[in-house]
Chain A
Amino acid sequence: MEHNTQPRDTVLQVKNLRTLFPVSRGIVGTLLAKPRRHVHAVDGVSFSVAKGEILGLVGESGSGKTTTALNVLGLVEPTEGEILFSGQSVPALVQSRERLRLRQQAQIVFQDPYESLNPRQTVFATVAEPLEVHRLVKNRAEKIEQVTAALDAAGLKPPETYFDRYPQELSGGQRQRVVIAGALVLNPRLLVADEPVSMLDVSIRAEILNLLHQLRDERGITILYITHDLATAAYFTDRVAVMYLGRIVEIGPTKTVLSDPRHPYTQALLSVIPVPNPRRRRKRMILTGETPNPIDLPSGCRFHPRCPVVSDQCSQTEPQLQSVGADHQVACLSV
């Protein structure tokens, strides 16, 4: 990508990432030596994220957004392509002694705070555990100090009152704050937030998003925000990448992409977001069917079987990302 060429400012760079998972052929398939098939979870994705930037990865189930995130964190090994975190290759870091440093600097907040916390661990134990794993504190006083600071930064105030509480004593919003505190305690440079608010009540979503925003502003944490909800991405992100079946179909500044979506898939996604006002009900552009399975990919443009503006060439030529404006790229033959 042409922007962010200065390596100083780029925290994360992903180049032509591909991740394929083999599909079991079964006994019969193996005996008949059928060709091995693959799930094309991520298939040629490139993007970069600058320091202190919030990039949204938006897509439906099966678009490859979570696999991309797991690649970035070094939790899944890519089949092809490069992932550079602060200029260093993530797959290489995972194999090296530097692995712990990567784990410290790149943290994740999962979707469901009801499941991602250990129900038998107190808040203090949960938030202190990363400090022990990474041997970042020398004594108990230091540990208490850091846990207090992390809980405070995550908006759990006064922090001491939360030390001995268990997850079941906390509301959903408070639990997600504990998860965030557990990530913050390591002072990460990159935070991957995988649908951090989709399990929370509407009235609480705003405060978690505002908290993440505040952490970016105050600490310069870079955030990769993964969601299927363009509406929260609109509030929260600086740039947004829309994914479909393992590829980025449109990427650009959030304002530009939302006000002037060029890819028919982005347009459809935008049109079905419920608008909270009955006077602005609009024609929903509902795509029929569901995302095809990523084993047998459609030929040409992956979106062509569901595309409302499909033409003959779409089933033959696979479109590449083309620049359509400042920092705004679209992969569609009709653009």
Chain B
Amino acid sequence: MNALNPVRRVGDQIAEAIMLHESVDKKAASKRVGELLEVVGITSEMARQYPHQYSGGMRQRAMTAMALACSPDILIADEPTTALDVMIQAQILDLLQNLQQELELSIILVTHDLGVVAEICDDVLVMYGGKTAEYASVDVIYNEPLHPYTQRLLRAFPDVDNPTSSLASIPGFPPPLDALPPGCRFEPRCHRKSDVCAVESPPLVAVKPGHYVACHRVGG
């Protein structure tokens, strides 16, 4: 939302990336900008406008266009929908999914929103305190989670199809990263901890092909 420069035209900001990386003149770059904006669902005339004339959803689209400017193989989207309304969020997710299919783009989606992950991701890596807690396909993460953190995180997330079950929060707070617990980083908040958890950090092991868990209580 605040990633665009407020005092420069949106089109010029996108053109900057193109001209920096490819030897094209301004005219060719602005033609390219028009095309990019159309790809993300903004009419090319809007290139001459400033960020404040864009709505939140459009700004996020413009940011996506900027990211696509040099035809990347991989797109890193860091909480791309967090500041947006639900309907605009759905539009942006739809856009990312279409781009992924049409441009054969790989996407790393960084988010705390488990709903968004379930909607569009193929694989999921759950992180805690700077380490991998669990890594598996999206289906396994949601239906056969093994790490206690993954399990509790899923129970803390509201499910509109099943609102009667009560929301369970995870007690405590994530550890401060300058004073990490000596053993497993989730140990202070874990409901299934044993003695070894406080002293030894669990290694990441494959419990099944493609399903990795770092927990003393699971597998190896």
A residues sitting closer than 8 Å to B (CB atoms) are 60-61, 171, 173, 201-207, 209-210, 228-232, 234-235, 254-255, 258, 268-270, 272-281, 284, 286-288, 290
Cα A228 to Cα B94 in complex, Å, equals: 19
With CB as the reference atom, state the residue of chain A lying closest to B41: A288
Least CB distance from A106 to B in Å reads 27
Give the residue of B119, B138, B158 whose beta carbon is less than 8 angstroms from that of A232. Answer: B158
Are B157 and A276 neighbours in the complex by a CB distance under 8 Å?
A: yes
The complex places the Cα of A280 from the Cα of B168 at a distance, in Å, of 21
B118 within 8 A of A: yes
Query: What are 26 A-B pairs at a CB distance below 8 A?
Result: A61-B56, A61-B85, A173-B173, A201-B112, A202-B114, A206-B158, A206-B167, A207-B169, A210-B166, A228-B86, A230-B86, A231-B160, A234-B158, A254-B163, A269-B87, A274-B114, A274-B115, A274-B119, A275-B159, A276-B159, A279-B139, A279-B143, A287-B87, A290-B57, A290-B87, A290-B88
B39 to A: closest C-beta gap in Å: 16
Determine the chain A residues whose CB is within 8 A of the CB of B158 once the complex forms: 205-206, 229, 231-232, 234-235
Q: A203-B170, A290-B55, A290-B57 are in contact. Are A269 and B86 (CB under 8 A)?
A: yes
Q: A202-B156, A209-B167, A286-B91 are in contact. Are A272 and B161 (CB under 8 A)?
A: no
A94 to B159: give the CA distance in the assembly, Å.
40
How far is B55's CA from A273's CA once the two chains are assembled, in angstroms?
A: 21
- Additional 6 contacts, C-beta under 8 A, given A210-B167, A278-B121: A60-B85, A60-B88, A203-B152, A203-B153, A206-B169, A286-B87
Report, as a range, how many residues of chain B touch the other chain. Answer: 35 or more
The 7 closest A-B pairs by CB, nearest first: A274-B115, A206-B167, A272-B90, A207-B169, A206-B169, A234-B163, A231-B158
| A60/B153 contact (C-beta < 8 A), A202-B113, A284-B94 known | no
The answer on a CB contact under 8 Å between B169 and A276 is no
Contact A203 B86 (CB under 8 A): no
Nearest residue (CB) in B for A286 is B90
Q: Which of B157-189 contact A (CB under 8 A)?
A: 157-161, 163, 166-170, 173
